[in-house]
Amino acid sequence: MKDDTSIYQSFNVLGIDVGGTFTDLLYVDKENNTIEFAKVPTSPENQAFGVMDAINKAKLKLNHVKLIVHGTTTTTNALLERKLSKTGMITTKGFKDVIELGRRTRPNSYGMQGKFVPIIPRDLRFEVNERVDASGDIITVLDEIEVKKTAEELLKLGCESIVIHFLHSYANNNHELRAFEIISDFWPNNYITMGHSLLSENREYERGVTAAINASVQPILEKYLRKLENELSIANYKNELLVMNGNGGTISSKMVVNEAAKTVMSGPASGVIAAAHTGQSTGVNNIITYDMGGTSTDVALIIGNQPSVSSDLEVEYGMPVHVPMVDVRTVGAGGGSIAKLNLAGLLEVGPESAGSFPGPICYGNGGTIPTISDANLLLGRLNISKIISNKNKVSIDDIKKIFLKKLSKSLHLDEIKTAEAVIKIANTKMAGAIRMVSISLGVDPRDFTLFAFGGAGPLHASSLAKELGIPKVLIPARPGITNALGCVVADLRQDFTKTLNMPIDNLNIQNLHSLFNDQEKKGIELIKKQGLELTNISSSFSIDMQFIGQTHILRIDLPNSYPDLDYLQKSFEKSYLKRFKVKLSEIKANIVNVNTTVQGHKVPFDISLLNNKLDKLLNLNDALLEYREVYFKDKFLNTPIYSRDRMPFEFEIKGPAIIEQMDTTTLIEPEDRVYGDNLGNMFIEVGDL
């Protein structure tokens, strides 16, 4: 479906992504065909400070900026660190422990230990009389007086936000809506979350936890955004601020707080969106994204330029966020990941990170613990003189001494072998994450291109590709600011899910068509409400299905909003056969959830703008900076070092080589061949597979 609106051809847009270690900025002036970019340390105490530092470093005048799109880790960090707002819950009598009982799983699948702390403690979960069955029929009428008294009690206990989570509200939401009306009359803010409003599907545990997460981070997100808006206003910015959601779309900062849970994993999602956009521009349709930053590594799958989106992800154990999010898997391996010896004397890398301060030893901020970045430096892969954070001029000898003291002596290795071991362990962890988004889902990574970005990704990409049998690596023009690029290119997006949970034979197909149309209409209204000029609005539809009696759910993408029953049954059987290699045509399917995605599309971004630099030369020899000893497979090789900014677009180099640029360093191993395209991307053909 398309809805034509006013088309604009040029505007100035600023993308800012806040990572765990660095804050990245990309400014695109489409009127003058110029760009600016910046990378500064993230300010954990208040991310707004890092955002403004990046703007100041880029020397931007915000009165010339027409739009700012922001990816933030505010909600993700709040969840992982459990620094949440005090939140209460009102639920159906007899069911206050649903969010604590959870599923029959363990924090450690093969262990007998581990703990689970619910988002809302038991003493802040209250019950009221009401009951609706799975068909939506009212069994017990809502006790409105009890709702009012309970909410007043939670307010007295110091709760800043509140969750209304009633049994089977996906089938009949009237009780939740009425409780919302009652509480809204006296609750001092808008931090009231109804379970069905975020997740109108069955599974009480997942719906309750998602609602609890939303309510717990609402005050935190709003306080941060208002601080940021104030800082931007002081700097003379008067236009719209959009926020990245975890689904890869954007939404106005004025609207995002109501559904704050959707901003979880917004940073990783922006990188995946940028990868899909770049892949589409270069004709590479099937991609495994590999984003290695300073704190962690994020990987995701893109098939046919469409990122994989899931509503079944967990931020950590016992913390399911069942709203549509780009399916990103994360491991604790980044440039700042700490290398240490465990109690058994074995070498471990991550998940703890040195962060942006003090950071790795090579940052010169007082760091004294070995990290992945320090290991790469000892192997000659990084130039210590070009590390932007090296304030106190730490030397290679200083790093060697720390490696010797803390790791090498106990391991009975020299410093170089120790550094090599650190890299190998880190690569093994990252390869495991890639297998989770490919092999574990029935996808062969050898059929994909590895898209490597992040400040540290291009350093490790070739080794990972070799381990996984991936024949080609794509390095975008600006790997270190790819997440910021994702903010620039991301469209507006709204997702809707409604549980039907009925056999296909019982489905009234007209009701299904009406539900799709209602979801689409609501999405278009919300997107238009944000007041941005768009090229068009499009909608896509899908259904979650399973065989009756089974728990496996498969998402079936639909060509339109009016499928017939025969098409649904056959499409599901085909998808089931492809996924599980089993044909069960004699069993009827069950319709679980109905899904609609509505997107408001901005003007397409031309990625060639990322290379708009005056010092770009046409002679590869002019880009040669020096030769340096770099360690490869048990020996140092005299390796050419190139400046990427001074290289021609189209070139070819056989390894070994190192290519340096402001935001990253790319390692070309001896067996590899690297070449450039006319858009400024690099492709590594991996040798020795």
411-434 pLDDT per residue, tens? 999 999 999 999 999 999 999 989
Q: pLDDT at residue 114 above 80?
A: no
At 142, give phi and psi (nearest 5°).
-60, 130
- Residue 4: what pLDDT? 36
Query: Which amino acid is it at 135?
Result: S
- Looking at residue 104, what DSSP letter applies? S
Tell me the longest C-alpha to C-alpha distance in the chain. 80
The two beta strands, 297-303 and 328-331, are antiparallel
- Residue 9: what pLDDT? 40
Q: Is residue 392 very low, low, confident or very high in pLDDT (cuts 50, 70, 90)?
A: low
Rounded Cα–Cα distance for residues 458 and 476 (Å): 10
Q: What is the arithmetic mean of pLDDT over 598-622?
A: 75
Tokens for 274, please give them.
């940028």
pLDDT digits (tens, 9 = 90+) for 513-540: 999 999 999 999 999 888 777 889 999 9
Helix (H) or strand (E) holding 574: helix 565-580
Rounded Cα–Cα distance for residues 350 and 425 (Å): 10
Query: What is the rounded average pLDDT for all residues in the chain?
Result: 88
Q: What percent of the chain has pLDDT over 90?
A: 54
pLDDT digits (tens, 9 = 90+) for 616-673: 556 888 899 999 999 998 899 999 999 998 888 889 999 899 999 988 899 999 999 9
- Residue 612: what pLDDT? 64
Tokens for 664, please give them.
């990253």
355 — alpha (psi -120 to 50), left (phi > 0) or beta?
left
Q: Is residue 6 very low, low, confident or very high in pLDDT (cuts 50, 70, 90)?
A: very low
pLDDT digits (tens, 9 = 90+) for 15-50: 999 987 789 999 988 777 788 888 888 888 788 999
- Residue 309: what pLDDT? 83
**Contacts of range 228-232, beta carbons closer than 8 Å, 24 or more positions apart:** 228/47, 228/48, 228/51, 228/70, 229/253, 231/48, 231/51, 231/52, 232/62, 232/68
- Residue 331: what pLDDT? 84
Q: Is residue 329 very low, low, confident or very high in pLDDT (cuts 50, 70, 90)?
A: confident
162 bridge partner residues: 88, 192
Helix boundaries (H) for 64-125: 74-81, 98-101
Rounded Cα–Cα distance for residues 401 and 418 (Å): 12
* Torsion angle defined by CA atoms of residues 96, 102, 107 and 110, in that order, rounded to the nearest 10 degrees: 140
444, with CB counted inside 10 A (0-12, 13-18, 19+), is exposed
Measured on CA atoms in the order 256, 259, 262, 267, is the torsion positive or negative? positive
Q: Nearest Cα to 668, choosing from 429, 460, 477?
A: 460
Residue with token string 């079936």: 556
Sequence length of the chain is: 689
616 in Cβ contact with 646 (< 8 Å): yes
pLDDT digits (tens, 9 = 90+) for 428-482: 999 998 998 888 878 899 999 999 998 889 999 999 999 999 999 999 999 988 9
Angle at 336 between CA 335 and CA 337, to 5 degrees: 95
Cα–Cα separations (whole angstroms), residue 49 to 257, 547, 556: 20, 52, 44
Helix, strand, coil distribution of the chain in percent, nearest 5 = 35, 30, 35
Rounded Cα–Cα distance for residues 577 and 442 (Å): 12
